[in-house]
Structure 1
Amino acid sequence: MREKIALTRRGLVAAALAGSATAVLPETASLQPAAIPEPAAVKLTAAAEEGPFYLDLDLRRSDIAEGLAGVPLDIAFVVHDETGAILPGVRVDVWHCDAQGRYSGFHGQGEDGRLDLTGKTFLRGTQITGADGRTRFSSVYPGWYPGRTTHVHFKIIDGAAARLTSQIFLPDALSEFLYANLGDYARSRLRDTLNSTDGIALAAGETTRGEVREMAGRYVATLQVRIDRKAVRAVPPPFQPPPRGDHLAGPPPGFPPSGGFPPGAPPRHAAPEGAERLKALIPKAG
């Protein structure tokens, strides 16, 4: 069952003051969609790497949680073209890991890289933008895995062309609060990579930061996406993982190598702790 919670702004602030830093989110009582900004206010959305776990399933559905445990999260998109006008009728694919950092559809998942999730489809889905350029997925808040900050993958496909492949990055402080306080996200170690230390998040920049709001019993992450319809890139074939082997002893295929992620990036460092971590989570706190 999906875990229903009622996190309040006051509770989040209190947790931050107590040392479990988190985001301060505006409270609201309804699920009314956010206003669409003026065209000039929406910048072209930066691309971010697809990663090894994309599957071209064209699985048309709005609820992608499949009953998984975790904090309810709606993932909403408003898609614009290069002029800033809303863009109806384009396909939006979404995929992300579960509360424990595992992707459906692939073997080699889990802390020891031995969990086989081939054939599973949780936390994956496809929708077509409506006349207002919007689409919305009902999911759960993603967990994390070594070398990456909290993120949601998405792809915008227009006909036979993938116009944009990118990721949504969620507030570090909110992620920290959820991971530290809810059993579904409990791990034996601290998350090692934050938005401020993830090379992919840093390269993508502000246009990939989701606007997160607290709703009744859920969070809603909204991203205003602006694509260039003149940028044509063929849809790549689905990723094919290496043949399964029960001898796997290291991280699962596609997980960050020990030298850093992405390949060629600086080596990963130990997870920051104490005051250093608090400053990274809430920069204004230090």
Structure 2
Amino acid sequence: MPLSSLFSGTPDRSRRALLRGFALSPFAVTGFGAATTAARAEAQDAGLIAPNACILTPEVTEGPYYVDPGLVRADITEDRQGVGLEMKLQVVDTECRPIEGARVDIWHCDALGNYSGFAGQGSDARADTGDQTFLRGTQASDARGIATFRTIYPGWYRGRTTHIHYKVFLDENTVLTSQVFFPDALSEYLFRSVAPYNERGAERDTLNGADRIAQAAGDGAFAFVQEQPDRYVAALVVGVSRDARSPASGGALVPPRQG
């Protein structure tokens, strides 16, 4: 049900109080699926997919490995091996109303810490994936503001904690660039116990608390993660101001090509 329907007939003052309550609800980021039952229920009742509701998402660096291949696809895995992940990003405005038709791009490294589309990168600065497009894609948000991607749980590389990059385009000028972060406990378990993550012969050097970008992004940038029999499902509510103008937009958008 659209968020506007859930709030129809509700006085603006009461609605704002409810949204503030979401924003102030405790949201644990040290474990996965750790939000309180009450916070999860309130978010679900309001049509939201995660309890990090109604917090404007801060702009953070897009990182060194952004390209715009224009790949419009829900499954971005290609040939990459790893634990299945369904990544859901729900785009909402400052009143927590879903934004339909936003363009959402995501990209992240594989289990070994390598991105597609670049040479001389990865933890060993030797990988050349310049002609590849794995773990990159574009989707349009649906009527509930949700863009869903099928991928793998991201790995790590030196100097950064585990993360997924994303961009949200509302139009030619309104662009949000940010990152999604994951619970350390879950990442540590996968990286130590599950192939191919545990085949690297090294332990990651940066946890969430030591990552300056994660700290700048704040608690609202941590995904709410639930375990399913065949994958993990990660959800994040992304608050975007329609009046915002991103310094990272760089002018007119390049229309995505189908593929």
SS in 2 for 1:161: coil
- Preserved contact between residue 105 and residue 117 of structure 1 (Cα < 8 Å): yes
- Preserved contact between residue 167 and residue 208 of structure 1 (Cα < 8 Å): yes
- Preserved contact between residue 57 and residue 240 of structure 2 (Cα < 8 Å): yes
SS in 1 for 2:206: coil
- Preserved contact between residue 117 and residue 129 of structure 2 (Cα < 8 Å): yes
SS in 1 for 2:196: helix
Query: Aligned pair in 2 of structure 1 residues 226, 25: CA closer, same or farther (>3 Å)?
Result: closer
SS in 2 for 1:136: strand
2:214 equivalent in structure 1: 201
Matches within 5 A, 1:17-32: 23=31, 25=33
The yes-or-no answer on 1:222 pairing with 2:235 is yes
Query: Aligned pair in 2 of structure 1 residues 114, 231: CA closer, same or farther (>3 Å)?
Result: same
Give the TM-score taking structure 2 as reference length: 0.76
In the TM superposition, structure 1's runs of 4+ consecutive aligned residues that sit over 6 Å from their partners are: none
- Preserved contact between residue 46 and residue 166 of structure 1 (Cα < 8 Å): yes
Per-residue deviation, 1:101: 0.4
SS in 2 for 1:87: coil
- Preserved contact between residue 174 and residue 243 of structure 2 (Cα < 8 Å): no
Q: Percent identity at matched positions?
A: 47
**Which residue, 155, 179, 184 being the options, matches 2:191?**
179
Deviations 1:225-254 (A, max 9, x none): 1101101236238xxxxxxxxxxxxxxxxx
- Preserved contact between residue 163 and residue 229 of structure 1 (Cα < 8 Å): no
- CA distance in structure 1 between the aligned counterparts of 2:227 and 2:233, rounded to whole angstroms: 7
2:250 equivalent in structure 1: 236
Give the TM-score taking structure 1 as reference length: 0.69
- Preserved contact between residue 60 and residue 125 of structure 1 (Cα < 8 Å): yes
**Which residue, 84, 93, 99 being the options, matches 2:111?**
99
Cα RMSD after superposing both structures: 2.2
- Preserved contact between residue 155 and residue 162 of structure 1 (Cα < 8 Å): no
- CA distance in structure 2 between the aligned counterparts of 1:25 and 1:128, rounded to whole angstroms: 26
Per-residue deviation, 1:160: 1.2
Unpaired runs of 5+ residues, structure 2, are 1-29, 35-42, 252-259
Unpaired runs of 5+ residues, structure 1, are 1-21, 27-33, 238-286
SS in 2 for 1:173: helix
- CA distance in structure 1 between the aligned counterparts of 2:231 and 2:167, rounded to whole angstroms: 24
- CA distance in structure 1 between the aligned counterparts of 2:122 and 2:56, rounded to whole angstroms: 35
